[in-house]
């Protein structure tokens, strides 16, 4: 395989976590994808027959579906997919304690601040390194409450019935081409079950990291909240900078039973050669509340629309997202809310920032089925343009079949104004500091929802992004 080449000429504006560890994998498939590769993945994971069948069927569906011709530019993707490794297994077994984690992997985590995060009571760290969970801890009290926070592989092994009952019920294999791809080659991700009435106050936290050049990452996460359960799951991603295209296509499935409440927080900061095509969806039952808090930075192209299917009466879905498109990047993001049951409510708040030649698109669907009486939905999408060359588009799709439904949509586009800049500079802030402050203010309604250390990290990333935005 080619040498790892770091992209030249980037300041921190480009990518902060562009360090590369020496690769230490035990097994990986050859590049490209066919039935044999899928069989190898399943064999290596020692999976039951039904999962192999599931994967093979998914592969056929993937092959039969055309590339999407909407959203971002996927014309180079086909060639990329022929060259990537669909499965890389860095270690043979799961690690339980931090001391057992190999040093080079530990170094990576340390650069990402994982141990500190844990020290700060962010218990339950499950960190994904390449394609497997290598480090995983779970507070004992949670175990005693019956909470399951496992790698997806262990979920399948240790809780086969619970797993099979829910797996691929929220995102069916044939949902879209990349959901089918993920279904064929998925590896890594989390399996979470929160039992009836259990309320977790400390967030469950996973950190994802893609380290190997040309490696696709296909994490699969399945989260089940039983009746009345409350939890918050935090996932953050960083990837190092490589010169060839990389690919990430995850599937996140969440099931919220009656009266449960869940928040899924993601801050993704991919290197800017990454295709990031993710399907994340929640099915929300009676009087349950689902909240997606989604931050997308970096990547070459992100296509990601967190969804809430409100299937039970009184269900509530909320999608809050921030997208930051820098030079050469396209963030095609938004959200989908589907009202199926009466008295369901939803809100989408989307904030996008485009800098330089960056492009952000809001793409959202609000669908209200007949019979979803008194459904209410509100969509607000705001775009901020930093430079003259920056671009933003809005694609709201609204489909209402129910007369008593009430749906609101509001979109704004603003430019960083000269008057604002002069005002802030006349107080001593440099032009870059002034820009960063304006951007921070713009995303504040969403950033304030983040856990403190994530909000701080996000602000820092934005300050770094603003360097070189002037002139």
Partner 1 sequence: MSDTPILTITGLRAKVADEDIDILTGLDLTLQPGEIHAIMGPNGSGKSTLAKVLAGHPDYEVTAGEIVFQGTSIHDLEPDERARAGVFLAFQYPAEVPGVSIANFLRAALQARLEKDEEVDLFDFQDLLLERMELLDMDPSFAERPVNDGFSGGEKKRNEILQMAVLRPALALMDETDSGLDIDALQIVAHGVNTLRAENPEMTILLITHYQRLLNYIKPDVVHVMVNGRIVRSGGPEVALELEEQGYADWKTQEVVPA
Residues of this chain that interact with partner 1 (CB under 8 A) are: 417-420, 422-431, 433-434, 437-438, 440-445
Q: How far is the CB of 160 from partner 1 (least distance, A)?
A: 48
Sort residue 371 into left (φ over 0), alpha (ψ -120 to 50) or beta.
left
- Cβ closest to partner 1, residue 406 vs residue 414: 414
Question: Please, are residues 337 and 346 in contact by the beta-carbon 8 Å criterion?
Answer: yes
Q: How far is the CB of 352 from partner 1 (least distance, A)?
A: 15
Q: What are the distances in angstroms from CA 72 to CA 330, 332, 410?
A: 7, 7, 23
Q: ∠ CA 439-442-444 to the nearest 5 degrees? A: 105
- Cβ closest to partner 1, residue 1 vs residue 425: 425
Q: How far is the CB of 437 from partner 1 (least distance, A)?
A: 6
Please tell me the distance from the alpha carbon of residue 290 to that of residue 261, in angstroms, as a whole number.
6
Q: What are the distances in angstroms from CA 69 to CA 66, 72, 183, 336?
A: 8, 8, 21, 19
Q: Could you give the angle at which helices 452-466 and 431-447 cross, rounded to 10 degrees? A: 150
- Cβ closest to partner 1, residue 344 vs residue 354: 354
Q: Residue 132 CA to chain centroid, in angstroms?
A: 17
Q: How far is the CB of 423 from partner 1 (least distance, A)?
A: 4
CB-neighbour burial class of residue 243 (10 A; exposed 0-12, middle 13-18, buried 19+): middle
CA-based nearest residue to 326, from 387, 241, 265: 387
- Cβ closest to partner 1, residue 303 vs residue 438: 438
What's phi and psi for 212, nearest 5 deg?
Answer: -105, 135
- Cβ closest to partner 1, residue 13 vs residue 432: 432
Q: How far is the CB of 430 from partner 1 (least distance, A)?
A: 5
Please tell me the distance from the alpha carbon of residue 120 to that of residue 105, in angstroms, as a whole number.
21
Q: How far is the CB of 392 from partner 1 (least distance, A)?
A: 18
- Cβ closest to partner 1, residue 22 vs residue 418: 418
Please tell me the distance from the alpha carbon of residue 368 to that of residue 247, in angstroms, as a whole number.
34
Q: How far is the CB of 432 from partner 1 (least distance, A)?
A: 10
- Cβ closest to partner 1, residue 53 vs residue 444: 444
């Amino acid at each position: 395989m080619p040498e790892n080449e770091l992209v030249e000429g980037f300041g921190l504006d480009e990518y902060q976590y562009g360090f590369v560890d020496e690769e230490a994998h035990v097994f990986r498939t050859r590049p490209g994808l066919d039935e044999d590769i899928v069989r190898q993945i399943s064999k290596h994971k020692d999976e039951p027959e039904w999962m192999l069948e599931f994967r093979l069927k998914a592969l056929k569906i993937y092959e039969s579906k055309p590339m999407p011709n909407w959203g971002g530019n996927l014309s180079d993707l086909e060639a990329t997919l022929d060259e990537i490794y669909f499965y890389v297994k860095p270690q043979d077994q799961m690690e339980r304690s931090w001391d057992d984690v190999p040093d080079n992997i530990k170094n990576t985590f340390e650069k990402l601040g994982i141990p500190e995060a844990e020290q700060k009571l962010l218990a339950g760290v499950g960190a994904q390194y390449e394609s497997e969970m290598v480090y995983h801890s779970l507070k004992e009290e949670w175990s005693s409450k019956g909470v399951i926070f496992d790698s997806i592989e262990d979920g399948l092994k240790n809780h086969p019935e619970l797993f099979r009952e829910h797996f691929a019920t929220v995102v069916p294999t044939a949902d879209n081409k990349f959901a089918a791809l993920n279904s064929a080659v998925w590896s890594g991700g989390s399996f979470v079950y929160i039992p009836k009435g259990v309320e977790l106050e400390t967030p469950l936290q996973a950190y994802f990291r893609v380290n190997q050049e040309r490696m696709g990452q296909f994490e699969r996460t399945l989260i089940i909240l039983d009746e009345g359960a409350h939890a918050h799951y935090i996932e953050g991603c960083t990837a190092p900078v490589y010169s060839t295209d990389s690919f990430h296509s995850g599937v996140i499935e969440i099931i919220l039973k009656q009266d449960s409440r869940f928040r899924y927080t993601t801050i993704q900061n991919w290197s800017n050669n990454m295709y990031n095509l993710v399907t994340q969806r929640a099915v929300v039952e009676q009087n349950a509340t689902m909240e997606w808090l989604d931050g997308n930075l970096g990547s070459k192209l992100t296509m990601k629309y967190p969804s809430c299917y409100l299937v039970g009466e009184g269900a509530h879905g909320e999608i809050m997202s921030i997208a930051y498109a820098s030079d050469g990047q396209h963030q095609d993001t938004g959200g989908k809310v589907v009202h199926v049951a009466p008295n369901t409510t939803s809100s989408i708040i989307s904030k996008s920032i485009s800098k330089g030649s960056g492009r952000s698109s809001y793409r959202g669907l609000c669908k209200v089925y007949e019979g979803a009486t008194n459904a209410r939905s509100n969509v607000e999408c705001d775009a901020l343009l930093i430079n003259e060359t920056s671009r933003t588009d809005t694609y709201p799709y609204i489909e209402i079949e129910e007369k008593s439904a009430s749906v609101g949509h509001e979109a704004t586009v603003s430019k960083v104004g000269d008057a604002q800049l002069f005002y802030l500079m006349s107080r001593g802030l440099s032009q870059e500091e002034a820009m960063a402050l304006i951007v921070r203010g713009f995303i504040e309604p969403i950033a304030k929802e983040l856990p403190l250390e994530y909000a701080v990290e996000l602000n820092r990333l934005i300050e770094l992004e603003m360097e070189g935005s002037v002139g």
